[in-house]
Amino acid sequence: MASQDLNQQLAQFRQAAASGGSAGALCYLNARTSYRYTAICRPDGQMMRNIHMYDRQGASTADLSDMLLH
């Protein structure tokens, strides 16, 4: 990947985060994949705590709880 292309993508990510916060940043990242969900999680002992989640289909993510790590 060319340095100029990478710099442009980083600038677009920063703009998405600046204008839309974590939701905007996750939306930008999700648009680059085929995945339905993109999330920010925090490890906490044996758990992954859901900090923020984006759903490509726009459904509520309130039911997506923390996950136990095995």
pLDDT at residue 7 in the model: 93
What is this structure's pTM? 0.72
Beta strand spans in 1-70 (E): 37-44, 47-55, 67-68
Confidence of residue 47 (pLDDT cuts 50, 70, 90): very high
pLDDT at 1 over 70: no
pLDDT at residue 37 in the model: 87
Could you tell me the residue ranges of all domains in the chain?
Answer: 3-68
Q: What is the rounded distance in angstroms from the CA atom of residue 61 to the CA atom of residue 20?
A: 17
Digit-coded pLDDT (tens) for 6-32: 999 999 999 999 999 988 999 999 999
